[in-house]
């Protein structure tokens, strides 16, 4: 059992190493002009240079901040609103059609609207990121709260639990798997929108770094930025995994 896990790990590393070798080979043989494709060695060197000079660190911090604020705002609003809508059948009936209409809207399309209303500002970025990452969380929470086992509400009544206790001890833990699934999706959306906003509004961050590097044909810097964005996506997903397996330990018992 353990050996097979190890085997798969080794295999996945081998694939990654193979791809990087291929990349290096393509760059060395100049199959693609170095203006557009730097080798992994140059990209790595640029990454290190960016870190030592501190340039890239500021950009990284910028992107992380945009992402985190937008995502947190969306989480708070999404869970609170979702709990309200999800726990009331009447509310669901009234609000659901509107939500279905707004949900598939590509958020990038509302960026011009946000820029017109809020200017090329941090506030605009916050609004766009929060709006975009709101949906998976809102819909997840609504579904989670709507799907609470009715029997548990009866148990709560028989036990004379207070309204607050019912929300925090019954509804919220019951909806937690759906809420966390929404939060996971939102995390990706938040990263994408943070980059887009930085590109469009020239806000300090990796999006801006990547765009400016591309415009000035600094392909190594461009790739360094892209690599860093990949790392952000990967690490935040890992953190989410850890949070989920800790909060949803009881679901592991079910399997």
Partner 1 sequence: MAEPALALVQSSPSPARAQIAFDNVALTLGGKAIIDTISLEVAAGEILCVVGASGCGKTTALRLAAGLYQPTGGSVRFEGEPMRAPRREIAVVFQDYGKALLPWRTAAGNISLALETIGMRAHQREARAAELLAKVGLAGHAAKYPTEMSGGMQQRLQIARCLAQDPKVLLMDEPFGALDAMTRQGLQDEMLALVASTGATVVFVTHDLEEAIYLGDRVVGLLPHPGRVGLELTIDLPRPRDQLATREQPEFLRLRRALFDFIKASE
Residues that bind partner 1 (CB under 8 A): 149, 151-152, 154-155, 157-161, 165, 169-170, 173-174, 176, 248, 250, 253-254
> DSSP string spanning 187-206?
HHHHHHHHHHHHHHH--SSH
How large is the greatest C-alpha to C-alpha distance in the chain, in angstroms? 75
Q: How far is the CB of 86 from partner 1 (least distance, A)?
A: 18
Is the Cβ–Cβ distance between 220 and 38 less than 8 Å? yes
Beta-carbon contacts of 158 under 8 Å, excluding residues fewer than 6 positions away, are none
Find the radius of gyration of the CA atoms of the chain. 23
Q: How far is the CB of 84 from partner 1 (least distance, A)?
A: 22
Neighbours of 62 (CB within 10 A): 21
| Residue with smaller CB distance to partner 1, 2 or 151 | 151
Cβ proximity to partner 1, 45 vs 152, nearer residue: 152
Centre a 10 Å sphere on the Cβ of residue 115 and count the other Cβ atoms it contains.
17
DSSP secondary-structure letter at 110? Answer: G
CA 97 to centroid of chain Cα atoms: 26
Query: What's the distance, Cα to Cα, between the start and end of the chain in Å?
Result: 18
Identify how many contiguous H helices and E strands the chain contains and give both numbers: 12, 0
At its nearest, how many Å lie between partner 1 and the CB of residue 77?
A: 25
Question: Which DSSP helix (H) or strand (E) runs through 33?
Answer: none
Q: Which is nearer to partner 1, 20 or 167 (CB)?
A: 167
> DSSP label at 162?
-
Least CB distance to partner 1 at residue 173 (A): 5
Q: Which is nearer to partner 1, 30 or 246 (CB)?
A: 246
Nearer to partner 1, 26 or 159 (CB): 159
Nearer to partner 1, 37 or 179 (CB): 179
């Amino acid at each position: 059992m353990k050996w097979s896990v190890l085997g798969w790990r080794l295999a996945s590393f081998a694939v990654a190493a193979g791809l990087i070798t291929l990349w290096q080979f393509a760059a060395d043989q100049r199959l693609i002009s170095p203006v557009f494709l730097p080798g992994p060695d140059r990209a790595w060197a640029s990454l290190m240079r960016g870190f030592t000079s501190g340039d890239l660190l500021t950009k990284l911090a910028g992107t992380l901040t945009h992402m985190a604020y937008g995502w947190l705002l969306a989480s708070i609003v999404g869970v609170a609103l979702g709990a309200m809508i999800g726990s009331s059948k009447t509310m669901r009936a009234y609000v659901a059609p509107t939500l279905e209409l707004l949900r598939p809207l590509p958020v990038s399309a509302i960026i011009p609207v946000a820029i017109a209303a809020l200017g090329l500002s941090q506030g605009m970025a916050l609004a766009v990121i929060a709006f975009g990452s709101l949906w998976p969380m809102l819909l997840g929470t609504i579904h989670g709260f709507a799907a609470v086992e009715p029997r548990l509400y009866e148990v709560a009544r028989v036990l004379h639990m207070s309204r607050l206790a019912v929300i925090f001890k019954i509804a919220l833990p019951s909806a937690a798997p759906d809420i966390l699934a929404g939060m996971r999706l939102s995390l990706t959306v938040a990263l994408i929108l943070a980059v887009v906003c930085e590109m469009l509004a020239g806000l300090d961050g990796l999006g801006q770094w990547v765009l400016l590097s591309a415009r000035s044909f600094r392909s190594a810097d461009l790739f360094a930025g892209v690599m860093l964005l990949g790392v952000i996506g990967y690490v935040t997903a890992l953190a989410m995994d850890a949070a989920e397996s800790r909060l949803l330990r009881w679901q592991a018992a079910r399997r």
